[in-house]
Amino acid sequence: MKKILLIGVLITWILPQAMAQQQVAGKVTDASSGESLPGVNVLVKNSSAGTVTDVNGSYSISVPNEDDILVFSSIGYISQEVEVNGRTTINLALEEDVQSLEEVVVVGYGTVKKSDLTGSVASVSSEEIKSVPVTTFDQALQGRAAGVKVVQTSGVPGGETNIRIRGTSSVNASSEPLYVIDGMLINSNGGEMSIGGRGPRIGALSTINPNDIESIEVLKDASATAIYGSRGANGVILITTKRGKAGKGSVSFESYYGMQQVSKKLDLLNATQYAELVNEASINAGVEPVYANPQSLGEGTDWQEELFRQAPMANYQLSLAGGNEKTRYAVSGGYFTQDGIVIGSDFNRYSFRVNLDTDVNEKLTVGTNMSYNRISSNGVLTGPGAVVQGVVTNALQFNPILPVYDASVPGGYTFEHDRKPAVANPIAEAKEYISITGTSRILGNFFAQYEILDGLAFKSSFGIDGLTTKSNAFGPNFLKRTENSLGEASISTLEALTWLNTNTLTYDKDIDPNNTINAMVGFEMQKFRNESLNAYAFGFPDSRTGWHNIGAAENPQSPSNGELEWSMASFFGRVNYSLMDKYLFTLTGRVDGASKFSEGRKYGFFPSAAFAWRVSDEEFMSNVAFISDLKFRASYGQTGNQSIPAYQSLALIGPIGQGVFSNGSGYEAFRGREPVSYPNRDLKWETTEQLNFGIDMSVLEGRFGLTAELYHKNTIDLLLNTPIPFTTGFENTLLNIGNVQNRGVDLALNSVNIDGVLSWNSSVNVSFNRNKITDLARDEDINLGVGGNILREGEPIGTFFGYVFDGIYQSDDEANQSPMIAGQTPSAGDRKYKDISGPDGTPDGIINDFDRTLIGSAQPNFTWGFDNKISYKSLSLSFFFQGSQGNDMVNLNLSDLANLNGQQNVLSEVALNRWTPENPSNRYSRALTTANDNVFSSRFVEDASYLRLKNVTVSYNLPASLLERIGLSNLRIYASGTNLWTLTDYSGYDPEGNAYGQTTNIVGVDFGSYPQAKTYTIGLNLGF
């Protein structure tokens, strides 16, 4: 066999050389543009002889026989066969293959022509992703797709976002979507992919370079997501990175430089005003004023000014892409650097990527995607904090009379707020508490695709996602935070590895012009494992070695380590059937097996079915000229959610239970071991049933396009931490109980407003979602204990519960005669609350638990995005608005910043308009050092609707004539501004965000979050 093969090769190689040959040359051009076509394959039919056209589209080939046939082929063009007939010159124009150029959309485990789509898929292009300078790509999705709500939880460089596709469908499990990058199912679970250590947490997605992304598809309905089965219920975000194309190679260099500043500062009291407030609060409480001469104190320290800074950011990216008919490549390297607007914080990322495809022969294609990203970041503690509050909270509360520095104490910083010692010096904490996180991530996969038969292909891929992260932290002994530990250091590491093997068999067949079938079956296995190690120590009399020598500590703490493993095995399949190109059917199903669930409950089946009708292709529509495209879609299916921690279904044994057996002379201790949790033998997925109706319409030859969708999602078997009978020996466990409903409408509209030399394109998307807990399996609320958030049957997730603030008592008489909070005796100038109910269901004259009620919701009526691009010749202007309407935010900062007890600094608005007999405010209370009314009430709940000019970009493309002269193919310079302007009634830093961003069910709470930045950038893109 081998011999024959060898001889065959020799014959085909030697024989043509030996025989009389004819030389044929010519040029290949594009039939429509007339431009020369490089990279066209020219083959002698039924032989192995062949060549490729050069940069000018020219070729030359030896033809053995005069009557041979030449085959010209190139991707994107219709192949042509030409008989030589003794000619020596053959010029040819290739027609574009319109069919293949039609827009293709990436879906799970494949692609589909956009016109054939039956499910709900929203696409976001690389241009849209790049238009806003972001640290992580998930931030760039904000306002870009209908049905996708993106909340940047804080302004921390590289921080996490909350993404909700068509609402929150879970209460205890995660509601974040599944991310799939080039077929790799990515673990974005911050709990499993980052260190639960002492530094601020960086999002798992920040290790991915936004500049490498070609397109993002958001899968929303069950037809699109059921192929991801038990991980599809929260929607799926498919990311496709850039790949090379055959043809002339391209080199591009992209760079921008920007300057960030805090988008808003809060107006607080200066030193004089603060002293006056303290004095009045003291006098009102019947004690001596504190400050003898407030005027002499002047302005004092502006702690916000000290904490925030102008911070630069920059991005550099070099990309090469190209290839020939056999091999395509895309290679890139990037560097992104960002200083945070809070001193002491920054973020740096180095990224490298190689995407390679090669056709080994006509049937076999192999390829690889490899990326390596390295992040290093300095963090500062913001948000609620644990040992001490975050630096933002501290800066807002710190005494403006005190200076930042105090040379007389160790460390040289003013140690703490003298009137409220819990408040640490934010500048010292930000600058001196070191927290460095370094993360490396390799994301790589290798695939091979073999065409078994015409239309039947087998593809297998194997990929790994390896992440290593290490966090070093050190707090010297002079900080407030280390007051008890006397200096602390910690080193934490986490290694995480996912491997994934996917095998699919795809069958693509046009049975006849009226019947097209595309079928796919697949099998997939995935395993995740992480290991973490955390060492920490207290007591560092000498700070010089810091975390570098943790052994120098006087008080080492026990090290801790942990590990976690889960695995999944899945079978899936999909059939697309198209009847006469008008009636489109899709059936999808996935069987998922997951380790996290109980024995016997590990497998779940997730089916979906969809139908689409291309009305515009019907005969009767041929007269309706203005409608160029009209399609109705309907789908129904079930998907699952399995994002709970591993090992929940196991009964773990703990070394608890000890006691003594005694006798006359003494006692003997004994020890026992017992289960520490209830083993739920029935633990399984959450299941989401979703019904979707959609319409896609395009009129006036595509000038206006509309996609409107109506959906209804019902999540049942909610994974809910639930009280169970004590007869089990336990109090509560995770059960599949309870339902959540999300209903809504997604609207997306594209319009070409003006076409011509001057062009103006707009796109609008609006998302309406109504969330409701339909079954909580109990009568009482679940109080989440933070920011008034409760879970109540019949209400949405993110419902606020508290007292109703009812103004200020204007006289002592009024205060005495009104219902009061048990144990309090208010006077004129104190807050009053509504007496709503009592034990008998009627107002009872006492303000107590019965008077708490629903006082707001974090769920918006709708969220939206509005993008515009105006071009005139080489100039273009784009502006992008984005916003949210009708949602409330709990401004927990007011608990201190509107508390006039003279301990912390407060908002000027509150303090300067405070109630005094001369200024009978009905909104702000009087100053009083002994004020103890700080109950959670409607005064903390603010309307957080906003409209934001997210981005404006002006850019200039150098004209082609100039480009040629300097040897470039493309040059673009631009200037842009981000978060330039926000219209909102919200009084805090930002109407967006959530201090408890890592939880699913606590939403809409602002507490000392890292504020978002306003950014100005200038950029340059070069193409060679």
| The only residue of 724, 947, 958, 1020 in contact with other proteins, by rule CB under 8 A | 724
Nearer Cβ to other proteins (109/478): 109
Nearer Cβ to other proteins (464/564): 564
**Range list of H helices, 422-517:** 426-432
Nearer Cβ to other proteins (361/727): 727
Q: Are 209 and 756 in contact (CB under 8 A)?
A: no
Among the listed residues 820, 1013, 1020, the one whose alpha carbon sits nearest the alpha carbon of residue 264: 1013
Strands of 615-650 (E only): list them.
627-641
Nearer Cβ to other proteins (679/843): 679
Give min distance, CB of 533 to other proteins, in A.
11
| The only residue of 224, 381, 568, 847 in contact with other proteins, by rule CB under 8 A | 568
Give min distance, CB of 521 to other proteins, in A.
8
778 binds other proteins, rule: CB under 8 A: yes
CA distances from 46 to 12, 125, 439, 591, 681 (A): 11, 42, 54, 45, 64
Q: Interface mask (CB under 8 A) for other proteins, residues 516-535, using x and -?
A: -----x-x-x-x--------
| The only residue of 593, 607, 807, 1023 in contact with other proteins, by rule CB under 8 A | 593
Q: For 779, which DSSP code?
A: S
Distance in angstroms (rounded) separating the CA atoms of residues 241 and 372: 13
Nearer Cβ to other proteins (64/723): 723
362 binds other proteins, rule: CB under 8 A: no
Give min distance, CB of 839 to other proteins, in A.
14
Give min distance, CB of 505 to other proteins, in A.
6
Give min distance, CB of 15 to other proteins, in A.
24
Nearer Cβ to other proteins (216/735): 735
> To which H or E segment does residue 950 belong?
strand 946-957
Distance in angstroms (rounded) separating the CA atoms of residues 304 and 907: 13
| The only residue of 372, 446, 450, 577 in contact with other proteins, by rule CB under 8 A | 450
Nearer Cβ to other proteins (287/676): 676
Residues in Cβ contact with 380 at an 8 Å cutoff, skipping those fewer than 6 apart: 200, 340, 342, 343, 344, 345, 390, 391, 429, 430, 433, 435, 1010
CA distances from 513 to 195, 579, 800 (A): 56, 9, 58
Residues in Cβ contact with 904 at an 8 Å cutoff, skipping those fewer than 6 apart: 396, 397, 398, 399, 417, 419, 420, 423, 896, 897
Q: Are 589 and 605 in contact (CB under 8 A)?
A: yes
298 binds other proteins, rule: CB under 8 A: no
Indicate the SS3 state at residue 665.
Answer: coil
Give min distance, CB of 458 to other proteins, in A.
5
Question: Number of residues in contact with other proteins, rule: CB under 8 A?
Answer: 68
Q: Interface mask (CB under 8 A) for other proteins, residues 451-470, using x and -?
A: -xx--x-x------------
> To which H or E segment does residue 813 belong?
helix 812-817
Q: For 1007, which DSSP code?
A: S
Q: Interface mask (CB under 8 A) for other proteins, residues 548-567, using x and -?
A: -------------xxxxxxx
Task: Pick out residues in 645-704 that bind other proteins (CB under 8 A).
Answer: 646-647, 649-654, 656-676, 679, 681
> To which H or E segment does residue 503 belong?
strand 488-512
Give min distance, CB of 624 to other proteins, in A.
47
Task: Pick out residues in 780-799 that bind other proteins (CB under 8 A).
Answer: none
**Cα 374–chain centre separation:** 19
Q: 609: number of CA atoms within 13 Å, CB side?
A: 0
Q: Interface mask (CB under 8 A) for other proteins, residues 595-634, using x and -?
A: xx-----x--------------------------------
Nearer Cβ to other proteins (14/652): 652
Give min distance, CB of 529 to other proteins, in A.
11
Nearer Cβ to other proteins (503/628): 503
Kindly tell me the burial class for residue 603, based on how many C-beta atoms sit within 10 Å of its own C-beta (0-12, 13-18, 19 or more).
middle
Q: Interface mask (CB under 8 A) for other proteins, residues 495-514, using x and -?
A: --------x-x---------
Nearer Cβ to other proteins (214/531): 531
What are the structure tokens assigned to 213, written together? 């992304």
Give min distance, CB of 193 to other proteins, in A.
18
Among the listed residues 839, 802, 833, 842, the one whose alpha carbon sits nearest the alpha carbon of residue 815: 833
Please report, as ranges, the residues that interact with other proteins according to CB under 8 A: 450, 452-453, 456, 458, 503, 505, 521, 523, 525, 527, 561-569, 571, 593-596, 602, 646-647, 649-654, 656-676, 679, 681, 723-731, 778-779
